[in-house]
Amino acid sequence: MTPKHLGQSTPLPASPEQAELDYVPNPRRDQLYLVRFTSPEFTSLCPVTGQPDFAHLVIDYAPADTIVESKSLKLFLGAFRNHAAFHEDCTVGIGERLFREMTPRWLRIGGYWYPRGGIPIDVFWQSGAAPEGLWLPDQGVAPYRGRG
């Protein structure tokens, strides 16, 4: 479980599929706790028009045996910049991949997408019910209000 990217000059992967996520041993595997990553400037491409789409992502998870190494997560998320997919596919796909590979106790992702065609689209996915006793703070992203 030696990280491949940490401390290395690593180019942005050409696609999310090519991105390699690194996982390291959880130093507090006997504890129930929450880890939160936010990506307030996430981008992908509209699969129809090719125009950029922007989102504020919030990823919360309760680790089990491993944690995701943050540089590899940044590279993975950055690989979506040239990836054409609908908001639902990006958001749910990120959550499913992290859950499948890392096998945390629990994971949720909120994708707060900026308007496309005048309609903001928010997408939420979680792996199941949160473990009893896990503190779940609000994701802290206000509903889209435009310029008001």
Instruction: Single out the residue of 60, 62, 81, 79 nearest to residue 71, CA to CA.
Output: 79
- Concerning whether 53 is annotated as a catalytic residue, the answer is yes
d(CA 1, CA 21): 11
> From the candidates 22, 30, 46, 138, which is the catalytic residue?
46
The pair of three-digit structure tokens given for residue 74, joined into one six-digit string: 């940044």
d(CA 143, CA 140): 10
The answer to whether 22 and 6 have CB atoms below 8 angstroms apart is: yes
> From the candidates 22, 53, 60, 90, which is the catalytic residue?
53
Residues designated as active site: 46, 53
